[in-house]
Amino acid sequence: MLRAPAPSTLPPAQPATGNLDADYINNLENELNEVRNNLQEAVEELETVNEELQSSNEELLSSNEELQSSNEELQSLNEELYTLNTEHQLKIRELQELNDDLNNYFRSTDIAQIFLDEQLQIRKFNPASADMINFIESDLGRPFSHISSNIKYEKLTEDILYVQRTRGTVEKEVQTIQGRNLLMRILPYLTRENKNAGIIITFVDISTITQLNNIIRSVFNASQNAILALKGQLTEHGGLIDFQITALNKTAQHWFGANVPLQEGQSLREAMPELMKEDMLQEYQQVLKDDKVLQRDVYFEEKQAWYELSGVRMPGGMVITFTDITDKKRSLQKIRQNYAELSEAKETLRKLNTDLEDKVRERTRALTFSEERFRMVAKATNDALWDWNLTDDAIWWSEAYTKLFGHDSNNLSRRESLAHIHPADRATVSGSLYNAINEGKHQWNQNTAC
């Protein structure tokens, strides 16, 4: 530090004397030396202070630089915080939208959903669940076992504890007090880290599906045809090797399960090997691959029965129906046998007809020869002759008839010829003639006058 010069201690000026001057000068010199020393110390102190100031200035400059660097870092951090805040705002908005979506989903869905925490206390539920469980808004946080339900199922709590203990899933069909059919599923609530954080219970109304299934099951079992639903068993390359029976009706059980009962899940190759022949496997493959309809007849040697097999594709397999056509086959076989016999009889009749035609031709030739001889005899005799063909009611008169009676025989009919008979004998002749014809007599004669 700077020191102020010490105040002068010189005595007031005195009159000049020799000794006084020397003492005065010495005092001045001493004071001057002291002042010099003080000044030197002050200079040194100033230099020290100056060095300290320079060092402090350098430290301040360094601190200023550090502050500027910190300021830049703070600005960068501030920008990052702003960006992070913006991202958080977006995340918050997304979470809000997601929460709104979930709330609207819970509000709009007909699937009842109940969320329980690890202590099986009610954490969340949607409005649809209030129809199954008697929930109110104040039930959040209450134990689930304290809430009454409309489910006619006494083991609900046991199933919830089972799922909580095993992390498995329980799926059962239950019914409400009102008679509605529900599909109940109980499964664990899992976090992103796959930790069990509670229970989820869902109820799906399957009343309509159950009713349709009952109708289909009734039609299924009431059908007089045997019906099998089959699931295909394929190789790695897609080749069909077997079927698994997934469903069958009572008729199928009655027809094919009399000795060894058919069961769901059974191999078709083991249960009915008649249906797993190589040619039938190829037809099954076409049904599964190309969605073709299978139609063919199958004979069961053991039952000695014929069945019409129809097959159509279903997802993962096919459905086949059997119609008993044993009587139809037997009738068809009988018809074929009768047709063969008829064909044989027809051939026999054809031969007989040929023989008869030959005989008719032979008889015709003989008859023609006889007629020719008869005409020659008729010309040679003076008797009046006439011939009556009963088939076509045609009359033939000999030439002697015209000569003997004087009547023109051209186009003369039988009725006109009767007009030439004497009226008194006309009825007698006509009656006698008809009696002879009806009685099959070989000869007829009657006396008359013309």
Please say whether the beta carbons of 49 and 31 come within 8 A: no
pLDDT in tens, 31-81: 888 888 888 888 888 888 888 888 888 888 888 888 888 888 888 888 889
The set of residues, in sequence order, having a beta carbon less than 8 Å from that of 403 and lying 6+ positions away, is 382, 384
In this structure, what token pair is assigned to residue 216? Answer: 């289909």
Residue 281 to residue 271: CA distance in whole angstroms: 15
Q: Using alpha carbons only, give the angle 347, 349, 354 rounded to the nearest 5 degrees.
A: 95
pLDDT in tens, 358-412: 888 887 887 777 777 777 766 666 666 667 666 666 666 677 667 767 666 666 6
pLDDT in tens, 323-348: 888 888 888 888 888 888 888 888 88
pLDDT in tens, 244-257: 888 888 888 888 87
- In this predicted structure, the answer to whether residue 6 has a pLDDT above a threshold of 50 is no
Q: DSSP letter string over 141-190?
A: TSBGGGS-BSB--TTHHHHHHHHHHH---EEEEEEBTT--EEEEEEEEEE
Neighbours of 290 (CB within 10 A): 8
- In this predicted structure, the answer to whether residue 166 has a pLDDT above a threshold of 50 is yes
- In this predicted structure, the answer to whether residue 424 has a pLDDT above a threshold of 60 is yes
What is the percentage of the chain residues whose pLDDT exceeds 70? 84
Residue 176 to residue 17: CA distance in whole angstroms: 141
Q: Using alpha carbons only, give the angle 349, 355, 358 rounded to the nearest 5 degrees.
A: 140
- In this predicted structure, the answer to whether residue 15 has a pLDDT above a threshold of 70 is no
- In this predicted structure, the answer to whether residue 137 has a pLDDT above a threshold of 50 is yes
Which among 434, 378, 433 is positioned nearest to 401, based on CA atoms?
378
The pLDDT of 111-126, averaged and rounded, is 88
Q: With cut-offs at 50, 70 and 90, classify the pLDDT of residue 188.
A: very high
